[in-house]
Structure 1
Amino acid sequence: MAVTLPEAALAQYERFSLYNSPYPAHDGGCAIDLYPGTLVDGRTTAAPSPVAGTVRETRTVRAPPKSYAPEHDHLILLEPSASGPLAGLTVRILHVDPSVEAGDIVDRGDSLGSLVRAGFFAPWVDNHLHVGFRGADQNPYRASGSIPIELGASVRPLEWDGSGHVVSTGDTYAVLDAPAHPTPGAEFVGVRADRGGVLDGGLPHYDGGGLLGRSASIEPDEPFETVVSLNGDRLGVANGRTIAWDDVTVTANGEPITGLSLFCARDGDFGAKLICPDQAFERGERVRVRVRSSEAI
Structure 2
Amino acid sequence: MAVTLPEAVLAQYARFSLYNSPYPAHDGGCAIDCYPGTLVDGRTTAAPSPVAGTVRETRTVRAPPKPYAPEHDHLILLEPAASSPLSGLTVRILHVEPSVEAGQRVDRGDSLGRLVRAGFFAPWVDNHLHVGVRGPDRNPYRASGSLPLELGASVRPLEWDGTGRVVSTGETYAVLDSPAHPNPGAEFVGVRADSGGVLDGGLPHYDGGGLLERGGSIDAECDRDPVVSLNGDRLGVADGRTIAWDDVTVTANGEPITGLSLFCARDGDFGAKLICPDRPFERGERVRVRVRSSTED
Aligned-residue offset at 1:42: 5.0
Map 1:21-100 to 2 at 5 A. 21-39=21-39, 42-100=42-100
Aligned-residue offset at 1:82: 1.1
Q: What is the distance in 1 between the residues matched to 2:83 and 2:252? A: 50
Q: What is the distance in 2 between the residues matched to 1:199 and 1:61? A: 31
Aligned-residue offset at 1:214: 1.4
**Percent identity over paired residues:** 88
Instruction: Deviation per CA, 1:17-66: give whole Å up to 9, x if none.
Output: 00000000000000000000114565100000000000000000000011
Q: TM-score, normalised by structure 2?
A: 0.97
Q: Is the 8 A contact 2:73 2:118 kept in 1?
A: yes
Q: What is the distance in 2 between the residues matched to 1:164 and 1:78? A: 42
Is 1:108 the counterpart of 2:112 in the alignment?
Answer: no
Partner of 2:211: 211
Q: 1:41 to 1:71 in 2, by over 3 A?
A: closer
For structure 1, the residue ranges without an aligned partner over 5 or more in a row are none
Partner of 1:181: 181
Q: Is the 8 A contact 2:215 2:222 kept in 1?
A: no
Q: Is the 8 A contact 2:64 2:71 kept in 1?
A: yes
Q: What is the distance in 1 between the residues matched to 2:222 and 2:102? A: 41
The Cα RMSD (Å) is 1.3
Aligned-residue offset at 1:191: 0.1
Is 1:171 the counterpart of 2:171 in the alignment?
Answer: yes
Q: What is the distance in 2 between the residues matched to 1:95 and 1:110? A: 16
> Aligned AA for 1:22?
P
Q: What is the distance in 2 between the residues matched to 1:279 and 1:41? A: 19
Q: What is the distance in 2 between the residues matched to 1:67 and 1:39? A: 24
Q: Is the 8 A contact 1:217 1:223 kept in 2?
A: no
Q: What is the distance in 2 between the residues matched to 1:26 and 1:286? A: 33
Partner of 2:161: 161
Partner of 1:256: 256
Instruction: Deviation per CA, 1:206-248: give whole Å up to 9, x if none.
Output: 000000001255249x787711000000000000000000000
Partner of 1:199: 199
For structure 2, the residue ranges without an aligned partner over 5 or more in a row are none
Q: What is the distance in 2 between the residues matched to 1:103 and 1:47? A: 19
> Aligned AA for 2:280?
A
DSSP-derived class of the 2:28 partner? helix
> Aligned AA for 1:155?
V
Q: TM-score, normalised by structure 1?
A: 0.97
Instruction: Deviation per CA, 1:68-99: give whole Å up to 9, x if none.
Output: 11000000000000121101100000000000
Q: 1:95 to 1:245 in 2, by over 3 A?
A: same
Q: What is the distance in 2 between the residues matched to 1:245 and 1:217? A: 21
Q: Is the 8 A contact 1:191 1:262 kept in 2?
A: yes
Q: What is the distance in 1 between the residues matched to 2:39 and 2:125? A: 9
Instruction: Deviation per CA, 1:155-195: give whole Å up to 9, x if none.
Output: 00000000000000000000000000000000000000000
